[in-house]
Amino acid sequence: MKQGGDRPPPGNGTMVKLGALNLKDKLLSRIVTPEIDELVAKMPKPVGSFGYDPWGYHENAAKVGLGIVKWLYEKYFRVTAHGLENVPKKGRVLIVPNHSGQLPMDGVLIGYAIATNPDGPRAPRAMIERFFPTVPWLGNVLNSFGAVIGDPLNCSKMLDGDEAIIVFPEGVRGSGKLYKDRYRLQRFGNGFMHLAMQHKTPIVPVGVVGCEETMPAIANIAPLARLLGIPYAPVAPPLPLPARVYLNFGEPMFFKDDKLSEDEVGERVETVKAEIRKLIDRGLQERTKIY
């Protein structure tokens, strides 16, 4: 004989599922506030029928990302940003900062600053290291926030789409440098200048101060990095330290599409580098406390 009491009441499974769903929803609603919803609505991107663009950007993911970074930006790194009015409200632009701090935290914070720019928010794209796509989960997550690998073809198609793109011409040379080399600009690649010239794109230089102190590295274990297939393996704090971060956006720089030798392009890159150095110095002067 069947006894109803022995069995769990019907629909229990769905109740548990609903509970889990509620928790997820609650967490999501804590992260994605109406304020962020409104912000993302202000910066639409052309996407396909499932909400993805060809590089993997997705609006909902970007909202979650912004929600999390909001806390990092305001509470943890207590960012001060100057000169955001220099970022054009629309049209193509290359944002070119110095790179530091082992993790690409500087890119994240600059991205947030541009996305929440009171002078006109934009959903920026960041050009990231080529090894990221090979990291499970992280690669897809970064793509969904709008980051793509730093390939000239990617950059060129995005500039044609009038996007704002963050490029770190120092690459891993900048982010992986040791604490003793802090605020010393490494060699800049020339690629960004070629793209700016070909696509008639203004360059907005940015000086980042503070990220060097988030992850001071005393050494780089190169053999370990090779073994793991990552660009560098720093001896550094396991998590970023809460240093105050100062972002100084400089005035847009324009370069004509002249026929130049590589050396002459290099000279133009030096002018951008010099501008970034000035902006870094401004940030260093402004800073009174490191942490």
Give min distance, CB of 130 to other proteins, in A. Answer: 6
Give min distance, CB of 189 to other proteins, in A. Answer: 16
Kindly provide the b/e burial profile for residues 221-254, where b requires at least 16 CB atoms within 10 angstroms of the residue's own CB.
eeeebeeeebbbbbebeeebeebbbbbbbbebbe
Q: Which is nearer to other proteins, 34 or 48 (CB)?
A: 48
Considering only CA atoms, which of 177, 178, 130 is closest in space to residue 151? 130
CB 149 within 8 A of CB 130: yes
Q: Which is nearer to other proteins, 5 or 229 (CB)?
A: 229
Give min distance, CB of 280 to other proteins, in A. Answer: 31
Q: Which is nearer to other proteins, 54 or 91 (CB)?
A: 54
The rounded distance, in Å, linking the Cα atoms of 141 and 133 is 10
Contacting residues toward other proteins, per CB under 8 A: 48-50, 52-56, 130-131, 133-140, 148-149, 151-154, 157
Give min distance, CB of 13 to other proteins, in A. Answer: 17
Q: Which is nearer to other proteins, 130 or 184 (CB)?
A: 130
Q: Which is nearer to other proteins, 98 or 144 (CB)?
A: 144
CB 220 within 8 A of CB 180: no
The rounded distance, in Å, linking the Cα atoms of 4 and 224 is 61
Give min distance, CB of 20 to other proteins, in A. Answer: 18
The rounded distance, in Å, linking the Cα atoms of 13 and 215 is 46
Type and span of the H or E element at 69? helix 59-71
